Amino acid sequence: DAMVIQNPRYQVTQFGKPVTLSCSQTLNHNVMYWYQQKSSQAPKLLFHYYDKDFNNEADTPDNFQSRRPNTSFCFLDIRSPGLGDAAMYLCATSRDVPGQFFGPGTRLTVL
């Protein structure tokens, strides 16, 4: 089945220790998104790729970076995680038909 896959599902890191979250998709969608979602809140868009074009949201901290080496994969790098970065990180994709397909998320814990 076509899907959006996120690895790992759970990630524990230490304060200030870089961490990378990954997302892959088999849907061949040209747009990929990274969201941060804190408990019982709406997802907050961090950035998205439209094909190879990177689009950063104005209020996304510099601590968050992203890479998209090819259509199928996208990575979220958190350079120096703080306690406030503990959250669920959602990857989503879309193409021509409006509406996003979400992955299961990676829950990040910062100790």
Partner 1 sequence: AQTVTQSQPEMSVQEAETVTLSCTYDTSESDYYLFWYKQPPSRQMILVIRQEAYKQQNATENRFSVNFQKAAKSFSLKISDSQLGDAAMYFCAYRSVNTNAGKSTFGDGTTLTVKP
Give the residues lining the site for partner 1 (CB under 8 A). Answer: 31, 33, 40-43, 45, 48, 50, 55, 90, 92, 94, 98-105
Other CB atoms within 10 Å distance of the CB of residue 87? 20
Neighbouring C-alpha atoms within 13 Å toward the C-beta of 23: 31
Least Å distance, CB 104 to partner 1, is 4
* Closer residue to partner 1, CB minimum distance, 42 or 83: 42
| The CA-based dihedral angle spanning residues 20, 21, 27, 29, taken in that order and rounded to the nearest 10 degrees | -60
Query: Looking only at Cα atoms, what is the longest distance across the chain?
Result: 40
* Closer residue to partner 1, CB minimum distance, 51 or 77: 51
Least Å distance, CB 94 to partner 1, is 4
Least Å distance, CB 39 to partner 1, is 10
